[in-house]
Amino acid sequence: MKNTWIFGASDFIGNPKWLYQYINQFRNDIEIWWIADNKNRLQEIKKANPEINIVLRDSTQASRLYKTASVYVEDQFREYYPEELNENIVFLNLWHGVGLKKIEMNSPFNGTLSTRIMKKYIKYTDIFSRRTLFLSTSEEMDKHFADNVMVPEERFIKGGYPRVELNKIVNSNAVDLRQAAGVSSDTKVVMFAPTYRDAGITGSFDMLIPDMNAVYDALEASNSMLIINLHPKMRTDGTYQQILKEFVDKPRTVFIENGQDIYELFNQIDYTIIDYSSIFYDLMASGQDHFVRYTPDFEEYLSYQPLMERYYDETYGEVVNDFETLLQILRSPNMDAMLDTAARNRIQEYFFSHANGRDGIDAMIDFVLQYKLPANEGLPTLHSYDIFDTLIKRTVGVPEGIFFYVQEQLRESGLNFPRYVIDNYPEVRHQAEFDARDYKRKTQFERESDVIEIEFMDIFNRMAEIHSLNQEQVNFLAEKEKEIEIKNADPIDWRIEQIEEQLANGDEVVLISDMYLPYETVKAMLHHADARLDKLPLYLSTDVGYQKTTLLLFKYVFFNMRYHFEHWVHYGDNPRADKRAPKRLGIETVNHKLMGFNDYEQSLVEKVRSYESYLVANIFRKDRRSKTYVDANTQVRAERYFAKGYTGLYLVPYVDWAIRRAINDNVDTMYFISRDGVFLKELADAIIDEQGLSMKTKLIYGSRKAWRIPGYVHEVDDAAFSVFGLFQSSVKKYEDILRTGILTDDEFDEFFPMLGDLKVKQTPYTGRDRDRIRSAAKNSKGYREHLVKIGAERRELVRDYLKSEINFDEKFVFVEFWGRGYTQDSLTNLLEDAAGREIPTEFYYARSIYGTTGHSIRTRFTSDAASLTFIESIFARVPMNSLTEYERTADGKVVPVIEDRPNKFARKFSKHTVSFAKRYARLEVKNRILLDRELFDFAINYFHENPDDENIIRVFAPLEDNIALDGTPEQYAPLIRAKSALFKPIKELKRGTRSFDMSVARSSKKVQFIIERKIEFAAWQRKRKRLKDKKN
């Protein structure tokens, strides 16, 4: 059974053509087929070679050949191979020329062909590295190709090129050029054979031949004709195409186009004008050995192909560096100057020492027939990682946070920075970077460089130019930024563990980043985050000069590493730099979405505007990035985030301030009072433990209900009969009077005979009714004495409880959150009663209505009048009911009667709000008290200014609390039903909620529409009335 070989070259030319013809004439043991890329090419080849076996690449017949063929012949590493090719097929790469310049894997990474080279090597690594036999023509070429292609040297076949070795052996379809052109037989045939430029495949012909008419005149003067044989990649050049149209029919010009084989015409050529093309060596080896070396752009070409510095040593012939000299040679060629016999012999040995004529070709064929592919042991995978927000993250979340840190440093530097720079440094820094980048992008022509990446100091130099900074100031800013960048580098641990697994599997890992920071700084950041990262190869745009977004940084890595991998996978977050760009090169991508600050976090950093605010905002952002957060449903995510980000800022800054104030005041024990104190103490304990502070804390069980009556030690003060006293808005019927006033029916009749009508009233009491009750109680001497008596009876248990819990020999403070201060005055009375002496009792508040009165000393965190009442809805979620009484145990000890009330919010608080307190305590903060106040003010104001915030309306609005003493729990901002929205006036709707805007925001779209129309209508009515009144 014959071996089947298929030939996959684009045109019927070059080494594959000559080998095909040789096998067709002399090796009947092999069945051969030519694969045409398209129908037009098939028809052209078939017309010129009627006997050829040729099929279309995507045809059914070709598919059958792919499955059975044993050898695939080519003369280049192709960019496309049919997927149906069987896995045992051997690829025989005959290549298409020897030479000096770097090719394939050593091509310039910023050259025109780099994208195509990179894509094919990534896609067809197995074909090129394991399944290809490569023809090399000499020992020197063995070294050259071993350094330039992926095929291992042990799979090189040593021999000559078929197009040179078989030129005079196989049949040729060559035409007689002189005869075809109608010129005399003594006409000299000159060939011009330039190669493409790495800097630009097209556009170079005009530089080489600026005046084709002058060339034609010179040809006529010397009775010559010119074959123009451009490298195939140059044939789309616009100038060339125009000249082709104008001169194609003239007798002294012959154009070699796609599909035509110049090697059939070699023996008719008298001399050749070459530049850097490897065709020089094939011509020389074929005996056509007279040359003119036309190299007007040698220095520029050398910048892309450094090895070509040997060009003049490894070629020979007359040297021409300008077009006018070339015209002179065309007019009067000196053939002796075009030949150097000694150089020819030396170069022949250098490039073709393996050549052995027809015998060598047969030996190559026989070797291929017997060759067996090596086993596929697999190649490692290359994993490339973006750095920022992929492997490491800034503690501040975003670069702007770094700029705020530098701003704080320059304020204290003493270096006399301009006031504008000090006050606006984050913006100044951002503008300077943008300006530096804009300059690099828009001055490529002037700088004669396509490098557009900025260097770190470019930013500060631009800043210095604009703001007249001296070198000391510039150095200070640069060093402070590098210093804090290193300090801010945190690891993304699970990614680093992933890298460890990849390395353990034998894969390779590199780091690739578009980054302006210096190489040494980024290395230091990596080391600070995790020393393991510091050991990985690092490719930085600021170091290389090119970015991922332009593809050039990926290309640099590919060519710098001499790519040798089965796959390339890139990991990163930027949609353009880490997804679209690498995909264009055939790199697989694993992308994650960069999670920036949400509206709440962005508002925080914009309002507070400090380095520390970015640290805090990033704590919240990091939580949203965590797997447990992302995997949770919408409601759970909102509850978790609210507990950390919102409740955390309502309470933690205040508690942090209270601890520091207590330490400063030499307090021994901080007491927290239930209900509110349950959450506050939990946060205080977390902060104290995290920072290793020496401070005792204790929870005291008490309440308005448990302490107010016992607190009437000597008399009942008038505040007991205010709207915040005993008879609050929750008193709506006769039974409520008895309960809150601690009265029996008879006692009511005794003290309040004037209120007899209220005993039988069937409708809920009005505000006027409650005013009558308070007035009567306040003015009843008997009722006041009654309260003092009840207080004395209840005070015995309270006294004993406080004695057992409070160490009166220590300095202590009670930590409250907010309130008028009335209950705390009751506690002061009870403490003095328990101690048997006057005791100045200090209370810490976020805010209180009362100031210091009597022995109740009030120290307040903020004077901001923004209401804190909404936080009662949070305290109402502590996992216990408000204390109502104490009891004495069998052993005589007094204990509070506690009713546990576990709830979801309390669990979330204990986990997430406390977690934030710990994280907050770990922050390195220069002025913590300042930060406490700024964060607290932001959080409270944000609540009032953003009632439609999604997390607030989803988590907070439904929370229930009873504001009034003995009141019924109600949602903070209940939903408004469509029926109510339609039929109730706006005023009445507002009475049913503590935040009308919040209630509207969480109601249906239909309700929102109805209310918007109602409000618009009311505004129209008011406007109409004003106009009417104005007329009257």
Q: Tokens for 887?
A: 């009891």
Are 936 and 951 a contacting pair, CB within 8 Å? no
Q: Which homologous superfamily does the CATH classification assign to the domain defined by 3-160?
A: CDP-glycerol glycerophosphotransferase, N-terminal domain (3.40.50.11820)
What's residue 200's pLDDT?
65
Q: How confident is the model at residue 451 (pLDDT cuts 50, 70, 90)?
A: confident
**φ and ψ of 895, to 5 deg:** -130, 155
Q: Which of 134-148, 435-449, 588-602 has the lowest mean pLDDT?
A: 435-449
Are 270 and 290 a contacting pair, CB within 8 Å? yes
Task: Tell me the one-letter amino acid at 405.
Answer: Y
Q: How confident is the model at residue 966 (pLDDT cuts 50, 70, 90)?
A: low
Are 803 and 834 a contacting pair, CB within 8 Å? yes
**CB-side neighbour CA atoms (13 Å) of 305:** 23
Query: Which has the higher per-residue pLDDT, 772 or 307?
Result: 772
Is residue 964's pLDDT more than 70?
no
- In the block, tokens 């502590």 appear at 878
Could you give the CA distance from residue 377 to residue 123 in angstroms, rounded to a whole number? 17
What's residue 48's pLDDT?
86
Q: What percent of the chain shows pLDDT beyond 90?
A: 76
DSSP assignment of 268-313 equals G-SEEEESS-THHHHHHHTT---EEEE-TTHHHHHHH-GGGGGTTT
Query: Which has the higher per-residue pLDDT, 110 or 563?
Result: 563
98-111 pLDDT per residue, tens = 877 888 999 888 88
Is residue 172's pLDDT more than 80?
no
Reduced to 3 states, what is the DSSP secondary structure of residue 970?
strand
Domain ranges of the chain: 3-160, 177-347, 600-703+802-963, 973-1031
Burial of residue 1026 (CB within 10 Å: 0-12, 13-18, 19+) is exposed
336-351 pLDDT per residue, tens = 999 999 999 999 999 9
Could you give the CA distance from residue 937 to residue 306 in angstroms, rounded to a whole number? 65
What's residue 432's pLDDT?
94
Are 8 and 79 a contacting pair, CB within 8 Å? no
Is residue 63's pLDDT more than 80?
yes
Q: Which of 346-350, 440-444, 704-708, 726-730 has the highest mean pLDDT?
A: 346-350
What's residue 816's pLDDT?
95
Across 209-215, average pLDDT = 96
Q: Tokens for 343?
A: 């150089």
Omega within 30 of 0 (cis) for the link into 675: yes
DSSP assignment of 140-194 equals HHHHHHHTTSSS-GGGEEE---HHHHTTTTS------HHHHHT--TTPEEEEEE-
Task: Tell me the one-letter amino acid at 517.
Answer: L
Residue 17, H or E segment: helix 14-26
Contacts made by residues 468-475, CB under 8 angstroms, sequence distance 24+: 468/418, 469/417, 469/418, 469/421, 472/415, 473/415, 473/417
Reduced to 3 states, what is the DSSP secondary structure of residue 863?
coil
Query: Which has the higher per-residue pLDDT, 118 or 452?
Result: 118
3-160 and 177-347, same CATH topology? yes
Which positions ≥6 away from 134 have C-beta within 8 Å?
93, 95, 145, 149, 151, 155, 156, 157
Kindly report the CA angle at 425 between 423 and 431, in degrees rounded to 5? 130
Question: How much is the mean pLDDT over the chain?
Answer: 92
Is residue 523's pLDDT more than 60?
yes
Q: Greatest CA separation found in the chain?
A: 146
281-337 pLDDT per residue, tens = 999 988 899 999 999 999 888 887 776 788 899 999 999 999 999 999 999 999 999
806-817 pLDDT per residue, tens = 999 999 999 999
Q: Among 318, 353, 398, which residue's Cα sits nearest to residue 604? A: 398
Could you give the CA distance from residue 998 to residue 679 in angstroms, rounded to a whole number? 25
What's residue 97's pLDDT?
86
3-state secondary structure 56-115: ECCCHHHHHHHHHCCEEEECCCCCCCCCCCCCCCEEEECCCCCCCCCCHHHCCCCCCCHH
Are 476 and 484 a contacting pair, CB within 8 Å? no
Are 293 and 266 a contacting pair, CB within 8 Å? no
Reduced to 3 states, what is the DSSP secondary structure of residue 995?
coil
What's residue 43's pLDDT?
93
Reduced to 3 states, what is the DSSP secondary structure of residue 763?
coil
Q: Tokens for 304?
A: 């892309």
Exposure pattern of 356-383 as b/e (b: 16+ CB <10 Å)? bebebbeebbeebeeeeeeeeeebbbbb
Could you give the CA distance from residue 10 to residue 400 in angstroms, rounded to a whole number? 54
CATH number of 177-347: 3.40.50.12580
Across 449-476, average pLDDT = 92
Across 643-662, average pLDDT = 97
Q: What share of the chain is helix, strand, coil (3-state, %, to 5)?
A: 50, 15, 35
Across 691-695, average pLDDT = 95
Task: Tell me the one-letter amino acid at 650.
Answer: Y
What's residue 450's pLDDT?
79
DSSP assignment of 23-65 equals HHHH-TTEEEEEEESSHHHHHHHHHH-TT--EEETTSHHHHHH
What's residue 233's pLDDT?
84
What's residue 100's pLDDT?
79
Q: How confident is the model at residue 820 (pLDDT cuts 50, 70, 90)?
A: confident
Torsion, Cα of 266, 267, 272, 275 (10° steps):
30
Are 713 and 833 a contacting pair, CB within 8 Å? yes
Q: Which of 251-260, 707-716, 938-947 has the highest mean pLDDT?
A: 938-947
What's residue 1's pLDDT?
52
Distance in angstroms between the alpha carbons of the first and the last residue of the chain = 115
